[in-house]
Amino acid sequence: MHYVEAYLAKDRNEHLRSHTTRDRCVATDSELRKVKSEYAHLKYFGYNARYEPPQFTALNVREAEGYLTKLKTHLLPLL
């Protein structure tokens, strides 16, 4: 989420305060749409890690790392 926030701060000079607004930006921004799936998976994993910790496994961590790598690979050059 921090990479999405950094991109929005640099590209649009926006600092979002709500998940809903950030989700809308991911859905509508041409660059963020390219990593919409990764963002959605990471958001889901983040929620589960916070609120359903016994169900969050080492496999989930590896999956989340893969999504994060894809998201970072796309966004870092834009920052």
19-75 confidence digits (pLDDT tens): 899 999 999 999 999 999 999 999 998 888 888 877 778 898 899 999 999 999 999
pLDDT recorded at residue 39: 96
Q: Tell me if residue 1 falls in helix, strand or coil.
A: coil
Q: Is 3 a residue whose pLDDT tops 90?
A: yes
Listing DSSP states for 18-56 in one string gives -HHHHHHHHHHSTTGGGGHHHHHHHHHHHHHHHH-GGG-
Predicted model pTM:
0.85
Kindly indicate the confidence band of residue 17, based on its pLDDT and cuts at 50, 70 and 90: confident
Using alpha carbons, select from 40, 8, 30 the residue that is nearest to residue 48. Answer: 40
